[in-house]
Amino acid sequence: MATVDVLPESEALYWRTRVDAERLRHQGRLWTLSAVFHVIPFLGAAALLMWIQPLALPVALACVAHAWVIPELYAQRGANVLRPRGRLEDGPEQRSVGLLGDLVGDEARELHARTGLVLEPGKLGTWLVGEAGAVLLHGRRRRAYCYCIKVDASHPGAGGLPAGDRIAHLLLALRSDEQGFATVANLAFAGARWRLRRRVRREMRPALDAVPFRLDSASTAAG
């Protein structure tokens, strides 16, 4: 049987560094640095204003609000990768969920029914796969890496896929080459899980909660 080890979609993106634990750690640090450089100037300006002139309190509060809002906007961007897309008629939707159910175990099937997300353990960490994106919880602290990835819309057959099929496409690609999957996907956000949790839809939060904070053999290399 002629098999393919590397995700073909990732081969086309030859300029991208293939994602591994080290690359994830690097990306996570960059996101943390970026957040710090967005927040510190505003907090510093607020403190400076209060020191110079306490009557500038409203302006200082506006600076603090900016320092709070900017990381929240980034987290919202990350949460958006899990947002469900439109639904088709019941028939195709049910058939697609049936096929997806055949691909996963009982626990993952039950979690999908409640949250719309499929939990998939991998070597880099634990994945939550949605219809147009996936979140990787990686490392000891389970930092969340939110990836935007979906069925290639340029293909004639890509239009009108039911929700279960959209997830199954991503799941099969992920299972065949996890690193390639993360390489093809666009990173929308990397940051603390609690920050992401606040921004995802309420019904999806149990899926994030289902990934325990623990040391495991799969993803202790970073975080």
Q: Cβ atoms within 10 A of the Cβ of 214, count?
A: 8
Query: Using CA atoms, how far apart are residues 205 and 135, in angstroms rounded to an integer?
Result: 12
* Nearest CB to other proteins, comparing residues 5 and 58: 5
Check residue 184 for interaction with other proteins (CB under 8 A).
yes
Residue 169 lies near other proteins (rule: CB under 8 A) = yes
Q: Which stretch binds other proteins (CB under 8 A): 20-28, 54-62, 168-176, 196-204?
A: 168-176
Among positions 54, 58, 86, 160, the unique one binding other proteins when judged by CB under 8 A = 160
Token pair belonging to 19: 């994602």
Residue choice 58, 86, 159, 212 for contact with other proteins (CB under 8 A): 159
Assess contact for 142 and 223: CB atoms under 8 A.
yes
- Nearest distance in Å: CB 198, other proteins: 22
Contact code string over 55-94 relative to other proteins, x by CB under 8 A: --------------------------x------x--xxxx
Residue 98 CB neighbour total at 10 angstroms: 10
- Please, what is the minimum distance in Å from the beta carbon of residue 63 to other proteins? 33
Please, are residues 168 and 100 in contact by the beta-carbon 8 Å criterion?
Answer: yes
- On whether the CB atoms of residues 75 and 196 are closer than 8 A, the answer is yes
Q: How far is the CB of 9 from other proteins (least distance, A)?
A: 5
28 conformational bin, left if phi > 0, alpha if psi -120 to 50, beta if neither:
alpha
Angle between helices 57-79 and 21-52 (to 10 degrees): 160
One residue of 24, 46, 67, 132 binding other proteins per CB under 8 A: 132
Q: Which residues have CB under 8 Å from 32's CB, separation 6+?
A: 191
Q: Which residues bind other proteins (CB under 8 A)?
A: 1-4, 7-9, 81, 88, 91-96, 98-99, 102-103, 105, 120-122, 132-133, 147-155, 157-162, 164-165, 168-170, 172-173, 175-176, 181, 184-186
